[in-house]
Amino acid sequence: MTDPILKEKLDKIDRIRLADLPTPVYQLKRISQELQKNIWIKRDDFTGAEMSGNKVRKLEFTIAKALKEGADVLITAGGIQSNHARATAAAAARLGLDSHLVLSISEEPEVEGNYLLDQMLGAKITLLCEDEGITLSEKMKEVAEEYRQAGRKPYIIPVGASDGVGNFGYLNTVREIMTQEEALGVRFDAIVCAVGSGGTYSGLYLGNKLFKLDRKIVGITVSDNKDYFMKVCASIVNETLASLDEQPEEDFDFTFIDGYKGRGYALSSPDELRFITEVGMKEGIILDPVYTGKAFRGLYSEVQKGTFDGCGNILFIHTGGQYGLFPKQGQVAEVL
């Protein structure tokens, strides 16, 4: 990283250490051969076990802020199988804090996967029916108010910890990747990730800009679409820039690819699950059904279509989420 002032500013941001870093990077040999392209993977599913995946990188910054503000209970929200909610519950327990999760449901949930772990990690849980006419954010505010009334200090972490603070997680990951490039003697022309709430992509994008790396940062959307994420990520990036006293950006050159959400967020098709299984058999890597399975499938087919022509080395970030496979075990077994 060239700019010492920027480095100093970044090093001053409050952070607590929760993740096992750096995560490994290596080439996927058989898939690279198949695609005639060097495909690499960064194993951010190795950031921990209970806290595995991308969220813990963001939580290092978000929870540091919460602690600075004196919080004693962390409130967050997501879907019933939210990886972020589970990681937050684990982080809270590790730090001796309480956690309260607001989880959206469409039907009575089975106690399995992340939802089971949430309970084993001591989280208090409020289930919110999708037709209740109240958003997750509104419900979190209500829950926080109840804690305040009881004399507690709640801190609300937005869905996915995808805000200006959580964004430092992946902004710093770019520094980690640059160090790994040097050690490996390789230049990643493109860095690719799944986009669920936008924080991972925003951090990678901003790191690439601030460190003037000129790489292609590609997000494959799995929950919403390009237009939505253009707005969300612009706002996250500018929130981070403001906190660094840097000028806001006006012209964003985000690269989002739609078309791989399949049947919808968190819904799986046999083809997607078959693809995940094939990657497991070829490379010994288990992708998750909600984010990385869809995103890596997107990358695979976009390479075949020529979207990455001109990129010699492509790095895919495995952002974790494998616990989400267990509630789908019946569907997975059908494609074996």
Ligand X SMILES: Cc1ncc(COP(=O)(O)O)c(C=O)c1O
**DSSP letters along 84-131, please?**
HHHHHHHHHHHHT-EEEEEEEESSPPPS-HHHHHHHHTT-EEEEEETT
Residue burial 133-149, b: 16+ Cβ < 10 Å; e: rest: eeebeebbeebbeebee
Our finding on whether 288 is near ligand X (CB under 6 A) is yes
Nearer of residues 164 and 199 to ligand X, judged by Cβ: 199
Interface mask (CB under 6 A) for ligand X, residues 121-150, using x and -?
------------------------------
Nearer of residues 80 and 147 to ligand X, judged by Cβ: 80
Catalytic residue among 82, 197, 202, 223: 82
Nearer of residues 200 and 238 to ligand X, judged by Cβ: 200
326 is written with which tokens? 């267990």
Q: Is 156 helix (H, G, I), strand (E, B) or coil?
A: strand
Whether the link from the prior residue into 327 is cis, omega within 30° of 0, is: no
**Phi-psi domain of 298 (left: phi exceeds 0; alpha: psi -120 through 50; beta: other):** alpha
> Cβ of residue 132: shortest distance to ligand X, in angstroms?
22
> Cβ of residue 21: shortest distance to ligand X, in angstroms?
17
Amino acid making up residue 46: F
> Cβ of residue 88: shortest distance to ligand X, in angstroms?
11
Nearer of residues 147 and 292 to ligand X, judged by Cβ: 292
Interactions with ligand X, residue window 44-63 (CB under 6 A): 53-54
Number of residues near ligand X (by CB under 6 A): 20
Our finding on whether 313 is near ligand X (CB under 6 A) is no
Nearer of residues 54 and 180 to ligand X, judged by Cβ: 54
Which residues lie below 8 Å from residue 244, measured CB to CB, with a gap of 6+? 6, 9, 10
Interactions with ligand X, residue window 84-103 (CB under 6 A): 84
Report the run of H or E that residue 154 belongs to, with start and end. Answer: strand 154-156
> Cβ of residue 60: shortest distance to ligand X, in angstroms?
14
Q: How far apart are CA 304 and CA 154, in angstroms?
A: 48
Our finding on whether 164 is near ligand X (CB under 6 A) is no
> Cβ of residue 160: shortest distance to ligand X, in angstroms?
4
Nearer of residues 53 and 327 to ligand X, judged by Cβ: 53
Interface mask (CB under 6 A) for ligand X, residues 174-213, using x and -?
--------------------xxxxxxxx------------
Our finding on whether 291 is near ligand X (CB under 6 A) is yes
Interactions with ligand X, residue window 263-282 (CB under 6 A): none
**Phi-psi domain of 274 (left: phi exceeds 0; alpha: psi -120 through 50; beta: other):** alpha
Examine the residue annotation and report whether 99 is marked as an active-site residue of this protein: no
> Cβ of residue 152: shortest distance to ligand X, in angstroms?
27
Please provide residue 269's backbone torsions phi and psi, each rounded to the nearest 5 degrees: -110, 160
Q: Where do runs of H (alpha helix) occur along 13-103?
A: 29-35, 55-68, 83-95
Please provide residue 231's backbone torsions phi and psi, each rounded to the nearest 5 degrees: -70, -50
Tell me how long the chain is: 336
Nearer of residues 42 and 84 to ligand X, judged by Cβ: 84
> Cβ of residue 150: shortest distance to ligand X, in angstroms?
30
Our finding on whether 162 is near ligand X (CB under 6 A) is yes
Catalytic residue IDs: 82
Binding site for ligand X (CB under 6 A): 53-54, 83-84, 160, 162, 194-201, 288, 291-292, 319-321
